[in-house]
Structure 1
Amino acid sequence: DAKKHKSAMVRNCVEDIKYIICDAEDIIETFLLKEQIGKASGIKRRIRSLTCVVPDRRKIALDIGGISQSISKVISVMQS
Structure 2
Amino acid sequence: MQPNYRRCVACRQAAPKETFWRVVRDYSSHQVQLDRGMGRSAYLCRNAECLKAAQKKNRLGRSLKAAVPEEIYQLLQQRLPGK
Compute the TM-score of the two structures, normalised by the length of structure 2: 0.32
Compute the TM-score of the two structures, normalised by the length of structure 1: 0.33
Bigger relative contact order, structure 1 or 2 (CA pairs below 8 A, ≥6 apart): 1
- Which structure carries more helix by proportion? 1
Give the structure with higher Rg (CA): 1
- Which structure carries more strand by proportion? 2
